[in-house]
Structure 1
Amino acid sequence: MSWDWEKLQEQKQRNQPGRTPDLGNLEDKIKQIWQMKFPGMKFVVAIVVLLWLASGIYIVEPDEVGVVQRFGAYARTTPPGPHYHLPVPLESVQTPKVTQVRRIEIGFRSGGGQRGYVAGQNRSFPEEALMLTGDENIVNVQFIVQYQIKNAQDYLFNISQPQKTVKDAAEAAMRKVIGHNKIDNALTTGKFAIQNDTKQLLQTILDHYTSGINIVAVQLQDVHPPKEVSDAFKDVASAKEDKSRFINEAEAYRNDLIPKTRGEVASIVNQAEAYKQTVINKAEGDSSRFLAVLREYKKAKDITKKRLYLETMESILSQPSVQKVILSSEALGKAVPYLPLDRLGEPAPTGRMQGASNAATGNKGGN
């Protein structure tokens, strides 16, 4: 800005010493000069003011929330969509992504980030990974932590370095959980429980800090003993695997053999019970039949004796294996006894011998 200083000096010289200058004329002069030198200044100032007011318009994306600060202090939280806040420096806004799952690697660094964990291709950090177990063994634990923002206000204003806070708290939680477990659990069957315990403990720590962070998952990537003793641990693990395999095979054999044995035992018992019942029923039947015959015999001894004889001969002679020769009493008296010498070494059929014996007895009775 430049004024016509010559005219001002001339005006000053006209004023007498001790007299008050005519300020009204001076202000008019300045207004005239201003309007003459900057005729469009009002328009420019209006545009600047409009742009300054328009700078308060902001848009919150669907995966974000807006946190408005007034003179640096928290004012309000806005949901996704277009919004307005007073221009800077009166108000400002931050829009953290609350649905994004953030990832922290502890004990190793994958470098690329997108490929994730690849054994043998990651940089190890022993100062983070080496931990002491409950049975005083050292184990190398590499794991990742995934988390989200659950309260944007707490996340932005209660902790100054969120990622470092989560990393330090996760390392402390994992060391405590590993310190309460034996090395066998950490290397074999206890990994799932260690992950869950670490997640719960880490969430408790962060909630105590009112950090506004929600732990999504804690995942063990690689758990192994130090290189100096890794071969010995491999031998121990191999022996334990063999032990488990032998136990499983024995259990499988046991589970296969016991049901078969129980089935055979049940079958033998059932057969014995059936045989027992058969013998009892047969004995009872024979006893009842004998008693019935005895009663008839007492009533008529000769008739009953004759009937028993005839029934016995009928049962013997009716067998197809018995050779039958029928002789009269006269012919029987003239018959020469025959002894089969060529068959003396052979066992004679029971039915034939019994038939011959019964026949001889019958003939005698007939005579």
Structure 2
Amino acid sequence: MAWNQPGNGNNNDRDPWKNQGGRDQGPPDLDEAIKNLLGKLGLGGNKGKGGGSNKTGGGFPARGFGVIAIIAVAIWFIAGFYTVKEAERGVVLRFGQYHNLVESGLHWRPLFVDSVQTVDVSNVQQFQSEGFMLTQDENVVHVELDVQYRIVNPRDYLYAVENADNSLAQATDSALRYVVGHTTMDEVLTVGREAVRQNTLELLENIIAPYQLGIQVVDINLLPARPPEAVKDAFDDAIAAQEDEQRFIREAEAYAREIEPLARGQVRRVLQEAQAYREQVVLKAQGEVARFNELLPQYKAAPQVTRERLYIETLENIYSNTAKVMVDVEGSNNMMYLPLDKILEKQRASEQPARNEASSTNSRPTESVQPSSSTTTRSNNSGIRTSDRFNDGRG
């Protein structure tokens, strides 16, 4: 019957908070309601209308333990799922001991039995090693080295050493200090930077190999080194001087490449001239020998005449090459001086108009001056022949 059913004048008997018998009891007890609910679920409390209970030793019933166990197993199973990212690998530990390595994707592990640690194996990581270091020539220089590496073995990376990243940083610092300590400051600052980088990379790989860090060094980059700030200006001047030295060397090399071909050409020309002179002297000597061989039978046939002839021809040769002649007068202590140079100048001056006239009339100069210079020409010709004969005879 509804609460407000028509025709019922006394609605107090229909109060939902009252019993059917009309006795007012107030709101229901909250504890009683919970016990009734648990009883219906089989977890204890009052069961049915009789309010009886089925308890085992005062605890939860056996059915309640089963439900709780099922719920706990479901939660444990669901919590065992985990995901490994694309760039990572998972290291599975079973009871704290290495079990296996899993790839990226969705995986399941028994919770509280296995634990998983993920490691990024795809991305390249980097760090910097820097500090003031002593060079071979006992100078201090500030060096910075950028190291790039990636993880290739997650198990070794996590468990071979206590901290693989820290171990790599210490090995890098040791390798860099060793290489810089065996290199001069000029090489570290200028031309030897690439050699320092290569030597440091090779030494670093040799150092970390026995430790099995699970790390592969991809590359290292030696940043520009610099001296301490207190002496930076002096080092800048020294570097500028070294750059000027290199520039001067390149300019000198360019000048040498320009001059060397000319010098080689001159050398070849001098060698050719020397070769020609040698051939000339050899041929002339052979000609002198031939003339001497021709003169020798005449000398054997008439030695006195040949000797006087050679003497006269020799004097002609000598006088033809000098402008001053001293004549010893026989029977007198006086010597006569003949100014042949003045005589020759007058003769050339007298011959010049005749040459000009011959040149204007397109005549040969030798024909126009031949009469006036016949004596000199004969003397010169005889002098040349006398010289040759004298040399033949003297040789």
Shared fold, TM over 0.5: yes
Query: Taking structure 1 as reference, are residues 220 and 137 closer, same or farther at Cα in structure 2, changes over 3 Å only?
Result: same
Mapping 1:126-137, distance limit 5 Å: 129-137=131-139
Query: Taking structure 1 as reference, are residues 344 and 231 closer, same or farther at Cα in structure 2, changes over 3 Å only?
Result: same
Equivalent residue, structure 1, for 2:230: 228
Could you tell me which of 94, 114, 120 is aligned with 1:91?
114
Tell me the distance in 2 between the aligned counterparts of 1:139 and 1:252.
Answer: 35
Could you tell me which of 232, 238, 241 is aligned with 1:239?
241
For residues 293-337 of structure 1, the C-alpha deviation after alignment (integer angstroms, 9 at most, x for no partner) is xxxxxxxxxxxxxxxxxxxxxxxxxxxxxxxxxxxxxxxxxxxxx
| Equivalent pair of 2:355/2:365 in contact (CA under 8 Å) | no
For residues 108-152 of structure 1, the C-alpha deviation after alignment (integer angstroms, 9 at most, x for no partner) is xxxxxxxxxxxxxxxxxxxxx111111111111122211111211
Task: Give me the TM-score of the superposition, normalised by structure 2.
Answer: 0.54
| Equivalent pair of 2:354/2:368 in contact (CA under 8 Å) | no
Shift, 1:102, TM fit: 1.2
Unaligned runs of 5+ in 2: 1-37, 46-52, 280-350, 371-395
Shift, 1:273, TM fit: 9.1
Equivalent position SS for 1:205? helix
Tell me the distance in 1 between the aligned counterparts of 2:90 and 2:69.
Answer: 30
Tell me the distance in 1 between the aligned counterparts of 2:100 and 2:62.
Answer: 48
What is the one-letter code of the residue matched to 1:179?
Answer: G
Query: Taking structure 1 as reference, are residues 172 and 80 closer, same or farther at Cα in structure 2, changes over 3 Å only?
Result: same
Equivalent residue, structure 1, for 2:125: 102
Tell me the distance in 1 between the aligned counterparts of 2:129 and 2:184.
Answer: 21
Equivalent residue, structure 1, for 2:89: 65
| Equivalent pair of 2:129/2:169 in contact (CA under 8 Å) | yes
What is the one-letter code of the residue matched to 1:173?
Answer: A
What is the one-letter code of the residue matched to 2:159?
Answer: F
Shift, 1:345, TM fit: 5.2
Q: Does 1:34 align with 2:60?
A: yes
Could you tell me which of 322, 341, 344 is aligned with 2:354?
344
Query: Taking structure 1 as reference, are residues 168 and 259 closer, same or farther at Cα in structure 2, changes over 3 Å only?
Result: same
Tell me the distance in 2 between the aligned counterparts of 1:348 and 1:30.
Answer: 166
Mapping 1:1-367, distance limit 5 Å: 29-30=55-56, 34-35=60-61, 38=64, 42-43=66-67, 45-84=69-108, 86-107=109-130, 129-263=131-265, 343-344=353-354, 346=356, 348-349=358-359, 352-353=364-365
| Equivalent pair of 1:169/1:206 in contact (CA under 8 Å) | yes
| Equivalent pair of 1:65/1:95 in contact (CA under 8 Å) | yes
Comparing 43-52 with 87-96, greater Cα deviation is found at 43-52
Whose Rg is larger?
A: 2
For residues 186-239 of structure 1, the C-alpha deviation after alignment (integer angstroms, 9 at most, x for no partner) is 111111111111112222222221111111222222311112222221221111
Q: CA RMSD in A?
A: 3.9
Equivalent position SS for 1:225? coil
Equivalent position SS for 2:219? strand
| Equivalent pair of 2:44/2:61 in contact (CA under 8 Å) | no
Q: How many residues align?
A: 253
Query: Taking structure 1 as reference, are residues 344 and 95 closer, same or farther at Cα in structure 2, changes over 3 Å only?
Result: same
Shift, 1:343, TM fit: 4.6
Sequence identity of aligned pairs in percent? Answer: 35
Comparing 262-271 with 184-193, greater Cα deviation is found at 262-271
Task: Give me the TM-score of the superposition, normalised by structure 1.
Answer: 0.58
Tell me the distance in 1 between the aligned counterparts of 2:71 and 2:261.
Answer: 95
Shift, 1:44, TM fit: 5.1
What is the one-letter code of the residue matched to 2:160?
Answer: N
| Equivalent pair of 1:149/1:214 in contact (CA under 8 Å) | yes
Tell me the distance in 2 between the aligned counterparts of 1:251 and 1:136.
Answer: 33
Greater relative CO, 1 or 2 (CA 8 Å, sep 6+): 1
What is the one-letter code of the residue matched to 1:223?
Answer: A
